[in-house]
Structure 1
């Protein structure tokens, strides 16, 4: 049986301004962990999704977080970059009561019915039921700190404030001269430390002391402050080997360590990208589903690439930024050509290169290749991987001697010293005219993609075929100053071009 307690809504804070009025209301204070637990129980019973917008975690991470909250555990989110660890922590604020009463002027968010600080105790002793009460919104009960090596005890716990001592004419032996740090000021709230392994071990020990004993030790002061805090830490597994680790006593006091992960399906990845790339939703720019899959496949290829450090991970921000740049490439072309509407092209993917190069950590071999070349290679591999989901596998077509290779005629046409140039800023008419030069290309798409009626998609697929045939070594391509040239694989060796290994 879940015990109910009386909460006060936003209307109540207008009517209650003193401790006496608060007592008369029947208000009952809960610890922050009990508060989170009670509100989660209510949300589950009412089928309210507290973590709305967190996709791909419905059956894994979110149930783990809910169990941890029901168990009143402090939490550590462990996972690679871009796995929504901090976002999950921030969304826990939704499980706090909308408003809670605090002693007016208190640094530590003192509960008027259970004061903690010397200031609040003295004020209540002096004014009794006339003690002024303020109301704290749940958004103000969340504190977040990025752990860096320069974070000090003073930052988190506190320090002696000589200015306060002088202004109040107090000796340093008086606890009122203490300036409290972020942790005490998070009393009755949620305190998050991101990248906890980066915190110096001695600072972690201080946190362990608070978790275990409720003691705060500042320059000779030993205060017993039973702080009421929901601690949430985040950590990247890479940090355990490269920069630091969570000290064992602290780790032992964390009730639940929850492992996060990247989207388990490419379609979940698309939903996340579309949800987060809100700035890319332009009514006159159209991106088909295959192009969206290509964006997600680039991240998949990066996570398994020999050039990319798998221990660092590949953030979901790569696909989000890539999608935004892809849309911007189309928009830029429309503005240049004064066209009203535009659809995605394979050559538009050159615009996503800057979104990739800054978001992957390269191993030594990748650094030798260069981030730009690695990014081109990842796009090329994505094209190769997805191509066989829609068209006959070119490798299998080569091996099958009993059936005509559907790609051979296209390769032969280029072998007769024919080339096509697809420039980034070609207007739609010129772009289609260039693709129509290749005999049999449109018929190939029509024969393998049944029921295709969208003309824009048809031309995208025609271009898709050419770039895929490059990846399967039927054709060759070269980077022009403002676009791409597709030509014969063998003939290119004798042309004036040099193969650019960075081409996708």
Structure 2
């Protein structure tokens, strides 16, 4: 971080970068150098840590301005590369692609929100932190319930709120307002990804089943086998889960069921009640 250097030390780089030599103080000797100086710096309006002096900036051959990932695919690739691996062979991780996209979409919504200070920005670290929290809760559930695989679900998303809130600088000063804003980001992200994967017209049979009085409860502590039983009870729900290519994997079935139900709720096709740590979907 070049601005971290005090200006008198930056002056010391001028000779190195222009004449490409270094002089030992007090001696009439110069040592030739073959060096390439690469440095990074945040925009001057982003931080008060310092600045790059103009003569030094003039000696750089090129300035490359970086940017946020252009699309969700790049964001997900960076997140997968940089996240901290913690899952073991006893509970291997299996993440549905739509869950990865939801985490990336939360960050992308934050970058466009007037409730977030855009001068401070929202880096990929927010996606990485949220993704790690999502996987951690899935891993915890697999350990507690003795399940073979760790598969994150929609009901795990509230656990990303504490990790993301520390990565955002909000414009509001109201107490507790920050959590509400992130919840809105999560809802918007789930709705956007849901509409990319599924068509509401294809899910009308599911909605019809709920209008007939059917209701389902889900929770992040519920075993995957319970979701498999739900799917067997409702033919239309089984067909919807098949659209997400969950196969016969209990963890993927559980994730798909929650994704379908929450997507229908956010599209105002189902009602949702929160009861003692559980979510109940009804017509």
Q: Normalising to structure 1: TM-score of the pair?
A: 0.47
Cα shift readout 1:151-196 (whole Å, capped 9, x = no counterpart): xxxxxxxxxxxxxxxxxxxxxxxxxxxxxxxxxxxxxxxxxxx1x3
- CA shift, 1:385, in A, is 0.9
Residue 329 of structure 1 aligns to a residue in which SS? helix
Find the counterpart in structure 2 of residue 421 from structure 1: 217
Cα shift readout 1:407-461 (whole Å, capped 9, x = no counterpart): 6525635xx5x65432221122334446767774334444xx2876345434422
Q: Which has the higher strand share?
A: 1
> 1:339, 1:472 → 2: CA distance?
32
- CA shift, 1:464, in A, is 0.8
The alignment status of 1:271 with 2:86, answered yes or no, reads no
- CA shift, 1:298, in A, is 2.1
Find the counterpart in structure 2 of residue 315 from structure 1: 123
> 1:222, 1:286 → 2: CA distance?
64
Tell me if structure 2 keeps the 8 A contact 1:210–1:216: no
Cα distance 1:444–1:289, how it changes in 2: closer, same or farther (>3 A)?
closer
Find the counterpart in structure 1 of residue 142 from structure 2: 334
Cα shift readout 1:244-302 (whole Å, capped 9, x = no counterpart): 43232221122211122233332233232222235145442321222222222222222
- CA shift, 1:332, in A, is 1.1
Cα shift readout 1:462-497 (whole Å, capped 9, x = no counterpart): 211221123223334455443434356xxxxxxxxx
> 1:379, 1:421 → 2: CA distance?
20
2:198 to 385, 391, 400: 391
> 1:338, 1:444 → 2: CA distance?
27
Question: Which 5+ residue runs of structure 2 have no aligned equivalent?
Answer: none
> 2:255, 2:16 → 1: CA distance?
60
Find the counterpart in structure 1 of residue 159 from structure 2: 351
Question: Which 5+ residue runs of structure 1 have no aligned equivalent?
Answer: 1-193, 398-402, 489-504
Tell me if structure 1 keeps the 8 A contact 2:227–2:257: no
Find the counterpart in structure 1 of residue 208 from structure 2: 409
Find the counterpart in structure 1 of residue 256 from structure 2: 461
Cα distance 1:241–1:391, how it changes in 2: closer, same or farther (>3 A)?
closer
Tell me if structure 2 keeps the 8 A contact 1:216–1:224: yes
> 1:289, 1:387 → 2: CA distance?
11
Tell me if structure 1 keeps the 8 A contact 2:22–2:30: yes
> 1:324, 1:242 → 2: CA distance?
27
The alignment status of 1:257 with 2:63, answered yes or no, reads yes
Tell me if structure 2 keeps the 8 A contact 1:366–1:374: no
- CA shift, 1:387, in A, is 0.9
Tell me if structure 1 keeps the 8 A contact 2:75–2:104: yes
Cα-Cα RMSD: 3.6
- CA shift, 1:241, in A, is 5.4
Find the counterpart in structure 1 of residue 189 from structure 2: 382
Cα shift readout 1:345-371 (whole Å, capped 9, x = no counterpart): 211222222321122222x23766633
1:475 to 270, 273, 276: 270
> 1:313, 1:293 → 2: CA distance?
20
* Structure whose alpha-carbon radius of gyration is higher: 1
Tell me if structure 1 keeps the 8 A contact 2:241–2:256: yes
Tell me if structure 1 keeps the 8 A contact 2:139–2:151: no
Cα distance 1:222–1:378, how it changes in 2: closer, same or farther (>3 A)?
farther
Structure number with the bigger relative contact order (C-alpha 8 A, sep ≥ 6) is: 2
Cα distance 1:459–1:431, how it changes in 2: closer, same or farther (>3 A)?
closer
Residue 421 of structure 1 aligns to a residue in which SS? strand
> 1:370, 1:437 → 2: CA distance?
40
Cα distance 1:442–1:370, how it changes in 2: closer, same or farther (>3 A)?
same
Tell me if structure 2 keeps the 8 A contact 1:280–1:324: no
Instruction: Work out the number of aligned pairs and report it.
Output: 277
Cα shift readout 1:118-176 (whole Å, capped 9, x = no counterpart): xxxxxxxxxxxxxxxxxxxxxxxxxxxxxxxxxxxxxxxxxxxxxxxxxxxxxxxxxxx
> 1:280, 1:366 → 2: CA distance?
35
- CA shift, 1:303, in A, is 1.9
Residue 386 of structure 1 aligns to a residue in which SS? helix
User: More displaced, 300-309 or 277-286?
Assistant: 277-286
Cα distance 1:404–1:426, how it changes in 2: closer, same or farther (>3 A)?
closer
The alignment status of 1:484 with 2:279, answered yes or no, reads yes
